Amino acid sequence: MEEKLIDEKKQGELLVLEQKEGNQRKLFIESYGCQMNFSDSEIVASILAEQGYNTTENLEEADLVLVNTCSIRDKAEQTVRKRLEKYNAVKKINPNMKVGVLGCMAERLKSKFLKEEKIVDMVVGPDAYKDLPNLLKEVEEGRNAVNVILSKDETYGDISPVRLGGHGVTAFVSITRGCDNMCTFCVVPFTRGRERSRDPKSILEEVNDLAEKGYKEITLLDQNVDSYLWYGGGLKKDYKNASEIQRATATNFAQLLEMTAEAQPGMRIRFSTSNPQDMTEDVLHSMAKYDNICNYIHLPAQSGSTRILKEMNRQYTREEYFELIDRVREIIPDCAISQDIITGFSTETEEDHRDTLSLMDYVKYDFGFMFMYSERPGTPAARKLDDDVPAEIKKRRLIEIVDLQREHSAYRTQQFVGQTVEVLIEKESHKSEAQWSGRTQHNTVAVFPKEYYKVGDFVMVKIEDCTSATLLGNAVGYSKNNV
Ligand code: SAM
């Protein structure tokens, strides 16, 4: 048991987009890891649509197979290696098929990948997707191609991603790339480079375009959304050298959030992920001010022990985390909160583990994503600390944390029974053809009989019952937000 309560169904999801007329070549693209990767795959497919590629669901007929990879934990890398074995088997039937590795594993392993995985023709890091046309030419001429250069300013703001993988109701809009936080366990700063924000103008254009296409909910996406800062382009770390005029006209995350909420009052606005050390009160006030900003924050704690937080180079203590939670509850009393927690980080004792359990008891999170610590080569923790908590102990602590989260999720879900809440319909329930599935603004899944409602409707649902993670009810009419 590595990860519990995380949506594993999305892993390896295949991206199939609208077919562009005249395109002859076939692209099979699969994605693993975080939402940023799924978003990036849409950008890649858009770039390749201009190069004559249409997406296919059929691996056997592909001219080009791309796998967008994740390095966050060892298990994620092993999953990709297994997929490469599968592609290798298909390549034996279709020797002209080319295979490319994209994303964080490409960045971490660079040209070493070509030696390790003989079937790989192309290795492309997260900032090099615009170079794909040139790299493909190299591959077609029989050479291997690698571009893993990390950029100071690439945000793909000028590429309009094609999005037909989902249900046309919710979409992710990426606002920043890279991460400067240097949490000691994390590989992201090494694979995705330094932090740089995207021009708010291009973000708003993308949001407006999504609204025009009928989307009803967007999630502003980044490893660390609260750190968003646009001052005319460039790295966040270079803001200290910004001119007076650049400072005076800069846009921070709270401002971006408000601009987005105002631009599309009929759309739900979400954001993810918040880092406690960068979350500021003005964001909470913006959330309270606009009805269409969902009352939900994903606020990873990682640990409840101040000592471990220090070893992780998280810039907050247990007490500061509690203060932030108290402020959230004061400013947005009904805010749902979710967590990421790592168990068994280097030197974690039973006492540290108990601190994590008691932190969870204090917050009573609505949801959680919990992981056993997986040492990543090259990270500060791998260089300076021993991965000294035995696997069985990590596993036992993970089970305890997952069980406690399940109790808290059940408690939070139960609070909605008897209430009438707004649900945005996303898709048919996977358990019953007669039911719709959608989410409340608190991000809780709700399931109810279809009647005459349709995907994309905002519906008021009377909650009659629940499981630990799902609300069960009946629609009582459209929401006032349904247009
Ligand atoms: N940027 C966010 C933050 O810092 O809070 C989250 C980014 S990460 C893609 C998602 C989660 O994976 C992290 O919050 C952390 O809980 C987990 N994670 C990252 N590195 C890990 C590692 N080496 N072992 C286990 N879990 C890890």
Q: Is the CB of 447 under 6 A from ligand 1?
A: no
Query: Taking 50 as the threshold, does the pLDDT of residue 291 lie above it?
Result: yes
User: What gap in Å lies between CA 151 and CA 169, rounded to an integer?
Assistant: 32
Q: Is the CB of 46 under 6 A from ligand 1?
A: no
High-pLDDT (> 90) share of the chain, %:
87
Q: Among residues 115, 120, 178, which one has the least CA distance to residue 150?
A: 178
pLDDT tens string 398-450: 999 999 999 999 999 999 999 999 999 999 999 999 999 999 999 999 999 99
Which residues face 84 on adjacent strands?
none
pLDDT for position 5: 39
How far is the CA of 130 from the CAs of 47, 54, 97, 149, 421, in angstroms?
7, 17, 21, 12, 43
Residue 142 CA neighbour count, 13 Å, CB half: 0
Concatenate the DSSP letters of all residues of 261-308 into one string: HHH-TTSEEEEE---TTT--HHHHHHHHH-TTB-SEEE---B-S-HHH
Query: Taking 60 as the threshold, does the pLDDT of residue 284 lie above it?
Result: yes
pLDDT tens string 240-269: 999 999 999 999 999 999 999 999 999 999
Is there a contact between 380 and 188 (Cβ–Cβ < 8 Å)? no
Q: Is the CB of 300 under 6 A from ligand 1?
A: yes
Q: Model confidence at 2, in pLDDT bands (50, 70, 90)?
A: very low
pLDDT tens string 163-181: 756 789 999 999 999 999 9
pLDDT tens string 450-482: 999 999 999 999 999 999 899 999 999 999 999
Pull the structure tokens for residue 147: 């571009």
Atom of ligand 1 nearest to the CA of 375: 23
Atom of ligand 1 nearest to the CA of 302: 16
pTM for this model (two decimals): 0.93
Q: How far is the CA of 373 from the centre of ligand 1 (A)?
A: 9
Quick one: average pLDDT of 320-324? 98
Q: To which H or E segment does residue 445 belong?
A: strand 445-449
Pull the structure tokens for residue 46: 């858009």
Atom of ligand 1 nearest to the CA of 274: 5
Q: Is the CB of 398 under 6 A from ligand 1?
A: no
The residue nearest atom 12 of ligand 1, judged by CA position, is: 72
Q: To which H or E segment does residue 410 belong?
A: helix 391-414
Q: Is the CB of 275 under 6 A from ligand 1?
A: yes
Atom of ligand 1 nearest to the CA of 181: 4
